[in-house]
Amino acid sequence: MSLRRRLTILVTLASAPTLALVAHNTLEWREFITRRAGDDAVASARLVAAELTQLREGTRHLMIALTEHPSVPNDEAGCSAHFRAVVKNLAIYREAALIDRTGRFHCSSIEIPPTLDVRDRVYFREPLQTNAFTIGTVTTGRVTGERSLHMSMPYKSRDGSFDGVVVLILNPDRIGRDFARRTWPAIHQLTVLDREGSLVFAIPEAEGQAAPVTAVASYAFQRAKFDRARTFAAKGAQGNDEIVGVMRVDEEPNGLFVAVSVDLDLALAELWESAWRNTIFAIIAVLFALLSATIVGYFLLQRPVLELVHIARRREAGDTKAQFPALSRGSELGLLSKALSDMSAKVDGLLEQKEFLLRELQHRVMNSLQILSSLLLMQSRHAKEPETQEQLQRARDRVMSMGIVYRHLYRTETVGPVEFGEFLRLICEESERAYGGARSGRIVCKTEPLFVSSNTATALAVLIHELITNAFKHAYPEDEEGAITIAMSRGPKREIEFRVTDRGRGLPEDFSPDSASSLGFRVIMSTIRRFGGTLEIHRLSPGTEFAISLPASLEAKADIA
């Protein structure tokens, strides 16, 4: 992983708390707004309930005032006129009347059919049973045909001549319009229900007399009848979340219920907008930080480190003139550059010392091989037996083949794997010069690049030299000229193949390389076995081909002991 990517990850991790803080604050504000929405709903419901309580008390006092008129209840015409005058001046009331225990109307502000029977109505039955003020239900008047809300209380004349109830009929639509004139939050839905859950009025105002009660208001009504909780969570008609605050008028279970629902989605709309805005700003800030970290990381970290790596690879490739950059010593990269420079200086010194010692060793080995070659030559000249002279000459040739390798190593100053193709061409050239003279031998050399260790190159040089020597010595008669072909190539499985071919008189029929008594063939077979290779002898017409196959693992491997 690159330094710039690591820095980017660090910046991202460092920026994560910012995004987490935005999310945490958003959740905290959501909880706060939700609680505040519930508190606002309850406060609005309490305010409406308080005003409806005042309306209830005002209606009760108005009933008492109506019944205190001298014409009530004995003067039917006078008390009816009085009731009409009062109702006419109060728009929230539709009508007023007295009803005796038999259900017969008296002092009514409107004309009542004599056949009208109201004994089944709550506003008539309940006050007589409980002897208390009663808020009835929203009904459609059988005389007026309009929505009405009845409020009633028991009444008994002072002289005992009349016993029944006094009734004031309110106009719920007018009450709703009076409330609607006030300023209500756009996210609030106000609903007032009667004791049976029927709609009295709603804000925004429901259209039509048969306007249905919303599912939220109905749910709140059911919860309020059996639960003392002031707030409830509910689902709106559109699947939206709503918080509902509920209050009873005077805490009476058979009175009016006030429900104020707050659309939580609308209440949180501004919060979500702010949260998205803050999130976008935070993301932009993080992206800016990542971009800055990428740019700054490249110039302050990645580029200096890559420059150090580049110089290190140049020095690894042998460019000792490459110098590490002089960075600020007060920084970690400056300290690293200084440490690499000091280490490189020490390595350069060690390499110079090693090179000096290696060249000295190669020089001594070359001198030793030259001395040994000279001694073998001198010894062969003093030997009297031809066979002894031949063996000494062959030993000198083997020493010379090793000397070729060391001379090439000394010339090329190679300390690692060496390219054996060049060695093979040198061996061919030296052998051609050595075996020229009277027989004028000619060697054709075909090679491919092959990198091996220096000791492997030496062993292979001796092997090839033995094959060349055997070919010149045994393939052609002394008075006959002939050519030898040396080929090095790769096999199908990347194995290394050497082929030494002549067009001479061939090998004897009973010849076997494993049973050959000559030192040369023993050297050849020993070298092939040491490398894990194989030897095949192909009899040609005319001539012979020695095909040697060595494993591909010899290439650029460590020295074989």
pLDDT in tens, 332-365: 777 777 787 888 888 778 777 876 776 677 667 7
Which carries the bigger pLDDT value, residue 359 or residue 35?
35
Segment 542-558 shows an average pLDDT of 82
pLDDT at 541: 83
Q: How confident is the model at residue 560 (pLDDT cuts 50, 70, 90)?
A: very low
**Per mean pLDDT, which of 16-20, 234-238, 301-305, 465-469 is the most reliable?**
465-469
Q: How confident is the model at residue 149 (pLDDT cuts 50, 70, 90)?
A: very high
Domain 57-170 has CATH 3.30.450.40: no
pLDDT at 209: 42
3-state DSSP percent of the chain in helix, strand and coil, to 5: 55, 20, 30
Mean pLDDT is lowest, of 58-67, 341-350, 379-388, for 379-388
| Domain topology for 7-38+175-267 | Beta-Lactamase (3.30.450)
Q: Is the pTM of the predicted complex or chain greater than 0.85?
A: no
Q: Is the pLDDT of residue 407 over 70?
A: no
Measured from the Cβ of residue 70, the count of other Cβ atoms closer than 10 Å reads: 9
pLDDT at 438: 43
Mean pLDDT is lowest, of 4-18, 460-474, 542-556, for 4-18
Tokens matching residue 447: 């090679």
pLDDT at 210: 47
pLDDT at 58: 93
What ranges make up the beta strands (E) of 112-176? 134-140, 147-156, 163-170
Average pLDDT in the chain: 81
Measured from the Cβ of residue 419, the count of other Cβ atoms closer than 10 Å reads: 16
State how beta strands 231-235 and 241-248 pair.
antiparallel
Tokens 């509902």 belong to residue: 244
pLDDT at 253: 67
Q: How confident is the model at residue 228 (pLDDT cuts 50, 70, 90)?
A: low
- What distance in Å separates the CA atoms of residue 355 and residue 114, rounded to the nearest whole number? 137
Q: Is the pLDDT of residue 170 over 80?
A: yes
Q: How confident is the model at residue 62 (pLDDT cuts 50, 70, 90)?
A: very high
CATH superfamily of 416-561: Histidine kinase-like ATPase, C-terminal domain (3.30.565.10)
Helices 386-412, 519-530: crossing angle, 10 deg rounding? 40
For 399, what's the count of Cα atoms within 13 Å in the CB-facing half-sphere? 19
In terms of residues, how long is the chain? 561
Measured CA distances, 129 to 133, 134, 164 (Å): 11, 11, 11
